[in-house]
Amino acid sequence: MRNKSKVERERKVKAKKLIWEKKKEKTPKIKLSKQEKKERKLQQKQYRKENKKVKQIMEIGDKIRFGIRQKLVTGFMIPVLCIVVLGVFSYLKASEGLISNYEQATDNTVNMATKYMEFAFNSVDSVALQYVSNSDITYYIRGLAKTTSQARLSYVMEVSNDLMVRASLDPFIEEIHIITPSKVPLFTSKMKILDGFNEEFIETEEGKVLKSKSNQAYWIGEHPLVDSKLELSPDKYALSVIHNLASGQGSIVTDISMKGIVNFLSDLDLGKGSTVGIITGDGREILIEKDDNNEAKTIVTNDKNYDGKDFRFSQKDFFQDSLKKEEASGSEYVVYNSQDYLYLYSKIGNTGITLCSMVPKANIMKQANDIKNITLIIVVIACIIAVTIGMLMSGGISNSLKKINYSLKQISEGDLTVQVFVKRKDELATLGHGITEMLNNVRALIQKVANVSSLVSDSSEHVVDASRTIEVASTNISDAIEEIGRGIAGQADDSQNCLLEMDALSQKITTVNENIIEIEKVTDETKGLISQGITTMEELTKQSEATSGITKYVVDNVIALENKSHAIGKIIQVINGIADQTNLLSLNASIEAARAGEMGRGFAVVADEIRKLAEESLEASNEIKKVIQEISQQTVDTVSTAKKAENIVNMQTQIVDETIKTFRDMNTGVEKLISNLTTIGQNMKNMDSAREGTLSAVESISAISEETLAASTSVDETVNVQSDAVKALDEAAKTLNENAKDLNEAINSFRI
């Protein structure tokens, strides 16, 4: 727009110079020499050349290929491209951070679940161990106590009732069974009266493995023989732990509740489409699958009844690879059904049971994809707005310029009745108003020239009388015009320099204004990203609080277990005291039997058996004491680890709160920046308005200076030739009459 205005100014200056040169050419010269005629022909040739240049300048507007509309649209698209780059960068950074945080949170959840299940399994194992070395049960199985049918039945009911109470108090215990040898009634929390079948049980596959483990626990998924004998349903229990009795003549089978395991796995919310479950050493799997509606589905399979329809971890290579690894836990990305999943595994202590989970990568990428979609929508909207605004603005400017160009063509053809009205409130309206004012002045000038031309003929008669006076005055005028010409030339140069400086200032102001608008857009986007960051950090705070609650719950349960272990220790001390007393009594009985002689020999055998039982009880109680001490030490370590985890979670929560505060401070700073940018933008608008007025004034001064310079030059040349013209003033008067007629004809060609 500024370049076109500059071209228009140069064109008007050239046109005015051509008009003055044309007037000079029409100045009558008397008795031209050959040299003067030659110079006049050169001037006419130069005039035609300059006229051709003027026409070329007038046709520049029709040859423009890259117009205002294309420039405005291109200018608006540059900030949009910046928004695209910012959106891509934000998406990449956000997706990287979200994926890392999600993977870490999921891994922590699986590890915490593993520790909780290990604690629960140890608790179940400790309950079973209480019956492993029970001396009453050992005496009962060996037939050394409860020898009558009534006493046996009563003892079986008593122990079975105790087993039922233990199973009902622990949410993870479904049933407890003590399998005795054949012809000896067994104990079961099912409260059934049934002879034992331990000889048959140890011949089964699980029985053989248990026999090889001696005093160690054996965790399995199913026990078909026990199920058939006691009429148990495998759907009621998830897995079982089996121990050999201390006497070696029986086994204890403790079933883990299927309901407890399923409820616990269902509470592990890893997202829609995820799978979590446990896999026993003998191939039984209890899985929880969640569909797209987050509805849970329980799947229980083993190696024998697997039909190939449902998903099984044990059938996948990545699960088999994780079993071979020495690490207790780990994670990796795997492909299942052409989709990417985050696979996590964690081995539960020494039970041979593995906790596994698969989380769709789509869940991890959900928030990052939301950022990408929002950025894409904003970019599309910004493109539409930019193109629309550019088209509207360029359309308005283009239409106004076409209207002005059409009016100027009519004016160039001599129609001075044209009125240039531009319905705008910007520089184009000022241009239209300036053209209209110029036409009014030109019409007034031509009207005056027409009035003067009628007087030229009358005035020519008085020229002769005034010629002498003109000859004297012309010399003085010539000197004065030279001084005026030099001053006006300097003023014209200064006006042109000022005009160029104002044009450069206008470009800088416009550039600064565009940069401020772009900065406002960027700060708005930054404010939105800060708000989204605050929301994400608040969600992380909620997750940390939930983790802290789980940690506190684990600590409380471990402390309760420690208290129970101390209580068991006190009972063991009592048993040790009883064993010592029994040993002492057996010693006294032996002494008394020795005194009795032959009559006390049978009593001595009984006393010796009592002493042996007392010693075995003492040894068993000492073993139990060692186990309790180990449990207590593990409990202390677990409490310490859990408290450290709780402290870490609290520190994490504090750091998240500080991060949220930092985001809010950033948000406040951005709001202040936006306010300051608004103030700067308003000041730039005020500067632009002042600049427009100054530019218009400088243009007027420059145009007037150039007109004055051209006029002074013409007057000086006229004065120089005036001396010679005075001598032939009579002939000039005649020529003046002819020129006056020509002037009338030329004026009549204009429509005013």
How large is the average pLDDT for residues 700-723? 66
Q: Is residue 463's pLDDT more than 70? A: no
Highest mean pLDDT among 69-73, 341-345, 415-419: 341-345
Least confident range from 139-143, 274-278, 607-611: namely: 607-611
Pairing of strands 251-257, 275-279: unpaired
Q: Is residue 16's pLDDT more than 60? A: no
Closest CA relative to residue 688, chosen from 425, 509, 429: 509
Q: State the pLDDT at residue 1.
A: 47
State how far the Cα of 429 lies from the Cα of 436, in Å rounded to an integer.
Answer: 11
DSSP collapsed to 3 states, 486-517: HHHHHHHHHHHHHHHHHHHHHHHHHHHHHHHH
What are the extents of the domains in the chain?
104-364
The residue with greater pLDDT, 374 or 711, is 374
How large is the average pLDDT for residues 389-396? 74
The residue with greater pLDDT, 170 or 574, is 170
The residue with greater pLDDT, 528 or 156, is 156
Mean pLDDT, the chain, as a whole number? 76
pLDDT tens, 273-292? 889 999 998 888 999 988 87
Pairing of strands 187-188, 329-336: unpaired
Q: What are the tokens at 224?
A: 């078909």
State how far the Cα of 357 lies from the Cα of 106, in Å rounded to an integer.
Answer: 10
The residue with greater pLDDT, 467 or 598, is 598
How large is the average pLDDT for residues 405-423? 71
pLDDT > 70: what percent of the chain? 69
Q: State the pLDDT at residue 15.
A: 54
Burial of 670 (0-12, 13-18, 19+ CB in 10 A): buried
Q: State the pLDDT at residue 173.
A: 92
pLDDT confidence of 30, banded at 50, 70, 90? very low
pLDDT confidence of 664, banded at 50, 70, 90? confident
pLDDT > 90: what percent of the chain? 9
pLDDT tens, 306-333? 666 778 888 888 888 888 888 888 989 9
Q: Is residue 598's pLDDT more than 90? A: no
pLDDT confidence of 716, banded at 50, 70, 90? low
Q: State the pLDDT at residue 28.
A: 46
Q: Is residue 338's pLDDT more than 70? A: yes
State how far the Cα of 346 lies from the Cα of 108, in Å rounded to an integer.
Answer: 11
How large is the average pLDDT for residues 112-139? 89
pLDDT confidence of 26, banded at 50, 70, 90? very low
Q: State the pLDDT at residue 143.
A: 82
Alpha helices of 597-728 — where are they, by DSSP H? 601-727
Q: State the pLDDT at residue 374.
A: 80
Q: State the pLDDT at residue 344.
A: 92
Question: What's the DSSP call for residue 18?
Answer: H
pLDDT tens, 75-116? 767 777 877 787 777 767 766 766 777 788 888 888 999 999
pLDDT confidence of 382, banded at 50, 70, 90? confident
SS3 300: strand
pLDDT confidence of 679, banded at 50, 70, 90? confident
Closest CA relative to residue 649, chosen from 102, 108, 264: 108
Q: State the pLDDT at residue 571.
A: 75
Q: Which residue has the tokens 């684990």?
A: 554
Q: State the pLDDT at residue 242.
A: 93
Alpha helices of 268-360 — where are they, by DSSP H? 317-324
Q: State the pLDDT at residue 241.
A: 93
Least confident range from 438-447, 631-640, 695-704: namely: 695-704
Q: What are the tokens at 379?
A: 């970019």
SS3 302: coil
Q: What are the tokens at 526?
A: 């930054």
pLDDT confidence of 460, banded at 50, 70, 90? low
Q: Is residue 163's pLDDT more than 50? A: yes
Contact (Cβ atoms closer than 8 angstroms) between residue 236 and residue 190: no
Q: State the pLDDT at residue 528.
A: 77
Q: Is residue 524's pLDDT more than 60? A: yes
625's CB contacts (< 8 A; 6+ apart) are 569, 572, 576
Q: Which residue has the tokens 């040739």?
A: 45
